Copies of this chain bind each other. A is one copy, B any other.
C-alpha cells in the first residue's frame, strides 16, 4: 500500500534541512542545523529521527552535480566536504532519490508552490550563485540545469567552474556585491559607505537594495545592470525551453522592483516575441522550504 509520507533533505547551503512531508507536499516536522562538523552523521541522525513505517522513501537535494543512479555527490563546489558522499552508505532500507538542490526546489514549487498549476516552467534560484531546475509536463527533468553556468559572454571573465562568462558572474548576489565593492574601491560616491560604516567589504545585497530604494545611484545602477544580464539569461531560457513560466527564487527576488523588473524588460527585448508572449515571470512562493518539499516529492514522482 502506498505510504503517506516521505522525507526530504536539503543539503549544501549553510544549513542542513530535513523534513517529514506529506504526499501533497505539506511539511509536518522539520529539522534545521548548520552544515558543519560530521555532515554524514548529522544527516543520518536527522533522517533516523523522522523515519517510520509510514515513510515511503527519502529524497535528497544536493548543491552540486549528483550521480542519480549511483546515489552519490559527484562534486559540490560550495560544500566540498560532501564531494563523493555516497548516500547508499546511510544504510536505510527505504528507496533513496538524489537530485541537485535547485532541481529539487523547482519540483517543490511544482508540488506546492508558485508552479502548482503550471505544466512547463523553469525555475532560477538567485542567490550566491544561480541555480536552475526544469519542469516539463509537470515532471522534473533529470538534467543538470546548471543555467548559472551558461556562458553569456564567450570571452568574459573566468568562472570558478572553468568556463568563461557564466551567467552567474553577472547577476548573482556575489556579482552584485562584487560590482558594488569595485565601484566603492574606485572611489564612487554612495551612501553604502555610511551603511557599511566604512568597511565596504561588509556590504550585503540587502544594503544595496535599501540604498537604491533611498535614492543611491550607485546601488541602483549595480542592481539594474545585474538585472539586465539576468534578462539575457531569461531570454536564452525562453528561446531554448519555451516555458509557460519562469519562476524566480532566492534572496535576490527581494529586489524585484529594480533588479527583476530590469531583467523582465531586457528579456522582453531579446526573446522570440511569440515565445515571450506566453511566458509569465513570477516569484517562487515556498522560500526556504522549496528544497525539502521538492526533495521529498522525488519519492512520489517516480
Q: Which A residues fall within an 8 A CB radius of B?
A: 65, 74-75, 132, 136, 141-147, 149-155, 161-164, 170, 229, 232, 235-236, 238-242, 269-275
Contacts and interface: CB of A to CB of B under 8 A. Distances in A.
A153 B150 contact: no
A151 B274 contact: no
Given A163-B239, A239-B163, A149 B229 contact: no
Contacts of A132: 240
Contact of A146 (B65, B155, B272): B272
A155 B153 CA distance: 8
Shortest 3 CB-CB contacts between residues of A and residues of B: A144-B242, A146-B239, A163-B270
29 contacts: A65-B272, A75-B272, A75-B273, A132-B240, A136-B141, A136-B142, A141-B141, A143-B241, A143-B242, A144-B242, A145-B240, A147-B240, A149-B239, A150-B150, A150-B236, A150-B239, A150-B240, A151-B152, A151-B236, A151-B270, A152-B152, A152-B154, A153-B153, A161-B272, A162-B270, A163-B239, A163-B270, A164-B270, A240-B240
Contacts of A273: 75, 162
Nearest to A267: B163
Q: How many copies does the complex hold?
A: 2
A153 B164 CA distance: 11
Nearest to A268: B162
Contacts of A146: 239-240, 272
A74 B242 CA distance: 14
A232 B65 contact: no
Contacts of A144: 238-242, 272, 275
A149 to B, nearest CB: 5
A158 to B, nearest CB: 11
B149 A272 contact: yes
Contact of A235 (B163, B235, B238): B163
